Amino acid sequence: MNMHFDHVTLGQRVLFGSGRAAGNLAAEVARLGAGRVMVIASGSESSLAEEVTSRIDVAVFHDDVAPHVPIAHAEAARAVATQNAVDLLVCIGGGSTTGLAKAVALTTGLPIVAVPTTYAGSEATNVWGLTEDARKTTGVDDRVLPGTVIYDAQLTLSLPVELSVASGLNGMAHCVDSMWAPHTDPINRALAAEGIHALAAGLPAVKSDPRGLAGREQALYGAYLSAVAFASAGSGLHHKICHVLGGAYNLPHAQTHATVLPYVLAFNAPAAPEAERRIAAAFGTGTALAGLDALRETLDAPQALKDFGFDETQIPEAVELILPYVPDSNPRPVTATDLDALLRAAHAGETPSL
Ligand code: NAD
């Protein structure tokens, strides 16, 4: 069969190096000619932010960050940017912090330099999210894509192992879902496969040696690849399920992704033999599910949605909420009965089976 695809590569500078963030940021601020920098970092990320910004002039620090970017937080941050005549946004932190910078960029058009400190991957996508009246809206806009990403694994050393594992599996979910997402193509599948390989090598090393840089670097590299793949391939079944669950029941982002992933893989794998083969090869295991299961066991990964505030009584409603979002291109048709079974298994933490 002839190969044909339409692929968009997002334009971004990526500066990667442990212990280099402060120097790389100073060089980027100079290169961009920015004179009024707004630094966004939450209270718990402030010591990292001080370290990273030690070599630049900062017009204003902003620490009013909340999960899923509530609209009031977005408007407050936009007002701070305007009042301070800011010409560059620098976000230092996890996906929530990056998300707030994106919300400011969405309406102001200000450029972003992102310095991620988790494995969420928002820094490499042009996707924004905002929450209003307990409803999360997302959209795609190139204005929110950070022009530069600065990765420094030293900044992730303080991320607790449990959160590192959940966040790293969020990255893994970007890779696995990219294999069958609506815009999957040979390029994003290649990035996703390398992402799986890097995360599968890095995360066990983070777990066994949380203060070591080698595993953290691999995990960060894998997280970047996962996000580039996801930004190109779009949201597959897994992301649609997690997006609905997170928004409707306020479940924690990384842990929800980490828990749901094996159930979606078990569901889709029999109908997606090529994706299954690629994922298994990236893990270096006989089957894709065996690879993910073994990794999850090594990592002592999150097991059950009931542990994160999802109640069994919410399953029928969740099924109804998810069904309209199931991508038509999913390799296997998805019925209400299928979703009900998947959510019941994920709720209870049953062993995922094909
Ligand atoms: P988060 O940003 O909420 O961070 C979790 C916690 O870890 C926070 O308390 C934070 O302060 C802390 N933290 C961050 N870095 C740390 C470090 N190095 N050391 C110690 N503590 C640290 O969680 P997240 O999982 O990074 O991001 C989740 C959010 O990102 C969600 O809102 C999700 O929707 C969004 N997201 C968006 C995209 C996108 O493409 N737009 C992609 C992935 C995730």
By CB atoms closer than 10 A (0-12, 13-18, 19+), residue 230 is buried
User: Can you list the domains of the chain with their CATH numbers?
Assistant: 13-156 (3.40.50.1970), 161-348 (1.20.1090.10)
Per-residue pLDDT tens for 54-108? 999 999 999 999 998 999 999 999 999 999 999 999 999 999 999 999 999 999 9
Q: What are phi and psi of 349, to 5 degrees?
A: 80, 30
Could you give the 3-state DSSP secondary structure of residue 151? strand
Ligand 1 midpoint to CA 94 (Å)? 3
Residue with tokens 């100073």: 26
Cα–Cα dist 46/62, whole Å = 10
CA distance 140 to 344: 32
Q: Pick the residue whose CA is nearest to atom 40 on ligand 1.
A: 122
Distances (CA, A) of 170 to 29, 36, 199, 213, 337: 30, 34, 10, 20, 26
Q: Does the C-beta of 165 come closer than 6 Å to ligand 1?
A: no
Closest CA to 183 of 327, 342, 82, 58: 327
* Mode of pairing for the β-strands spanning 112-116 and 37-40: unpaired
Please tell me whether residue 64 adopts helix, strand or coil conformation.
coil
Nearest CA to ligand 1 atom 38: 122
What are the pLDDT digits (tens) for 256-267?
Answer: 999 999 999 999
Give 287 Cα–ligand 1 centroid separation in angstroms. 30
Mutate to test the pocket of ligand 1, among 122, 145, 164 (most ligand atoms within 8 A of CB): 122
CA distance 349 to 352: 8
Taking only the tens place, the pLDDT of each residue in 200-228 is 999 999 999 999 999 999 999 999 999 99
> Rounded to an integer, what distance in angstroms lies between the CA atom of residue 114 and that of residue 88?
11
Where residue 133 falls among pLDDT bands split at 50, 70, 90?
Answer: confident
Assess whether the C-beta atom of 127 lies below 6 angstroms from ligand 1. Answer: yes
**Which ligand 1 atom lies nearest to the CA of residue 128?**
41
Within 10 Å of residue 8's Cβ, how many Cβ atoms?
13
